[in-house]
Amino acid sequence: MAPRKKKETEAQPKKEINAYIAGAGTVVDQQVTETIKSNFMPYAMSIIISRAIPEIDGFKPSHRKLLYTMYNMGLLKGSTIKSANIVGRTMQLNPHGDAAIYDTMVRLSEGHDALLHPFVASKGSFGKAYSRDMQCAAARYTEAKLAPIAQELFVDIDNDTVDFVDNYDATMKEPVLFPVTFPTILVNSNMGIAAGMASSICSFNLKEVCETTIAYIKDDSINVADTLLAPDFPVGGELLYNREEIEKIYETGRGSFKVRGVYTYDKSQNCIDITEIPPSTTSEQIIEKVVELVKLKKITEINDIRDETDLKGLKITIDLKRGTDVEKLMKKLFKLTPLQDSFACNFNILIASSPRVMGVKEIISEWVAFREECVRRRVYFKLNKAKEKLHLLKGMEKILLDIDKAIKIVRETKEEKEVVPNLMIGFGIDEVQAEYVAEIKLRHLNREYILKRLEDIEQLEKEISDMEDTLNSRARIKKIIVKELEAVMEKYGKERRTKIISAEAEEESEDKLFVDNSPVTLFFTKDGYFKKITPQSLRMSGEQKLKEGDEITQIVESTNAEELLFFTTNAQGYKSRVDNFSDGKASVLGDYVASKLDFDEGENSIYMVNLSSYAGFMIFVFENGRIAKVPMSSYETKTNRKKLIKAYSEKFKLHTALYVKEECDLLISSTNGRMLIVNTASLSAKITKDNAGIAVMTQKKGQRVYTVEVYNKGSLENEHRYRTKNLPAAGSLKSSGTAKQTQLDI
């Protein structure tokens, strides 16, 4: 058999093949930053501007495309139609696939319970926002139409109130924004994750939002928190209200607040029914966490837990053991499960295609400016239409005054195309007017029709004058906006679903009986690391693991029930409890306190106080020799505040902070070699935490306090030499026969 011939391409050398590819095999030097900039940045900007971040009308592009398609399909009226039909039509504007479009519709629907005021009326199973396992039915089974409130999105859209742009293939036009008549951006929650940024906007009660916007329009110096009480969620729940935190969110657009579930106790069945949960969790997550805690025996009062959600709504039932303290158990569940959860706010909104994190007042200001422009454009559009109509009627008026002449001109004109020019010449009107007159039906040439048209001219002139006055008056435009807001509030306003309860009152009543009172040893390091180790682990452990250059500064015997107070480099104090830290081992670094307790940026802890009661004193020794003595009772608060500002004086540089349970001697040495023994009883205590103290040890220029320690009697020979009756004092130089000093652990 003859050998097979190789194909030409196979026979060609590899170099010859590469010769057909331009630049093949060439190595190009390019900075990584340039590659990222040229390849990733356009994608990142597309995500930010065209996908994840909502605009001032309260919608992302996917929402807007879906709702506008439904509007064009006439779904503001009539009955529902198949969701698959709507999804298919929406793909003319949104090319991202039917699944993504249907998911958008589901979230906007009434049946999903994700929004306070849904824009899509639904029929069929659309799943539930509060359940992970309750999924929506396929689009071919469900039906939808626009909800009544959706007409507030489109009421002016045909009056040139907003700009329109081409869709992705330039075959249709779509609105850039919706001319919404109320601040939708605040009424319905909105979340999105873009490249390098995110948005998380909680929902507010529509009546409160409208009232706040009206109040702002009338007086822009208002305190938003007076009328916009707190966020409101479709799932209800109870919001733990802290005025300071809410005002911070309203001012900066960032922050968080806690929402917890609502329960009832059925005494006859000895069970708890949970009917409302936080918006950031699901019923399955709560059940799974409770089951886990029961298995770990951290909760022993529960016999069974099950999901009894039905057509009436959410319901999680917990069967209890006999004799269970319900209130105590619920406080455990709030603390240990997602039944109480935080909602993190990040009010990031696109303004003129640029993302901005704004406070509530700034958002309202931007919306009012946007709405003013919509109203102005609507009035201008109607003004032009009215002027066009008036122009036609003015031409008709001239002809109606002499109908016989008009008829004669028409009858004596030989060619049809000459009718309009002859009317223009005969009555001194323009082509548009003459064309309009020429189209008048013969039946309309009667006295009644003529008188009505003349009345229309008079009415139009009044309307045009009024619209021109409106365009020249910002106050009148604002009145129109206020009137529209009042109408929306009256028509669609509902009572709050999320109850507001005092966070301080709840913290005050926090039950500590279930806190483990077992002994632990606490370790605190120079760099601000904290370890809590049980006696059993401590006996089995070896050398303590520390960060390079770090060292242990405090070792304290404590229990899980005691409180902690950390003083920081920013003269602040942060409260916590021992049981808030997990048990550690010697082989780990421990918890970094600044991160654990959410310190301010650049702030670190410098001293730890372990408290079973607020007895004793804090001693603050400053480098210039001054000492401040503050009773621990000054740090006690009626509520469980986590952060205490002005915990000590920032006027002078702090050298040492010490907690003493009772009066004692302090040995202070200076860089000049002198030493001074001072009894804390000789220092007057001041309840003001940031008091500057009194001068104790005098320091000359260039000198400062070198060491501070609790003094044990007998540690120094001739110790009377270092004591003095009068303060301040310079102290005495160390004698050659001084005994070895020892330092007492506090």
> Which is the catalytic residue, given 20, 130, 141, 250?
141
- Between CA 368 and CA 482 the distance in angstroms is 10
Cis peptide before 728 (omega within 30 of 0): yes
Task: Judge whether 168 counts as a catalytic residue.
Answer: no
CA 679 to chain centre: 52
145 by DSSP, 3-state: which? strand
Instruction: Give the closest residue to 502 by CA, choosing from 260, 208, 205, 233.
Output: 260
The pair of structure tokens assigned to 375 is 């109203």
CA 380 to chain centre: 37
406 by DSSP, 3-state: which? helix
H-state helical runs in 296-344: 326-336
Instruction: Give the closest residue to 371 by CA, choosing from 473, 464, 485, 283.
Output: 485
- Between CA 61 and CA 50 the distance in angstroms is 6
Instruction: Give the closest residue to 625 by CA, choosing from 653, 585, 597.
Output: 653
Sign of the C-alpha dihedral computed for residues 134, 100, 179 and 390 taken in this order = negative
Evaluate whether 547 touches 529 at the Cβ level (below 8 Å): yes
Instruction: Give the closest residue to 136 by CA, choosing from 158, 118, 156, 111.
Output: 111
Burial of 99 per CB tally in 10 Å (0-12, 13-18, 19+) = exposed
Bridge pairing between strands 519-525 and 254-260: unpaired
Q: At what angle do helices 403-412 and 419-427 cross, to 10 degrees?
A: 140
Evaluate whether 625 touches 697 at the Cβ level (below 8 Å): yes
- Between CA 299 and CA 336 the distance in angstroms is 10
Sign of the C-alpha dihedral computed for residues 675, 681, 684 and 688 taken in this order = positive
Q: How far is CA 602 from CA 249, 449, 599, 643, 646, in A?
A: 22, 82, 8, 16, 17
Evaluate whether 608 touches 554 at the Cβ level (below 8 Å): yes
- Between CA 456 and CA 438 the distance in angstroms is 19
Query: Looking up tokens 């003529």, which residue turns up?
Result: 450
- Between CA 550 and CA 590 the distance in angstroms is 12
Residues paired with residue 617 on neighbouring β-strands, in sequence order: 631, 660
- Between CA 710 and CA 742 the distance in angstroms is 9
- Between CA 175 and CA 165 the distance in angstroms is 6
- Between CA 324 and CA 698 the distance in angstroms is 63
Bridge pairing between strands 499-502 and 238-241: parallel
**Catalytic residue positions, numbered:** 141
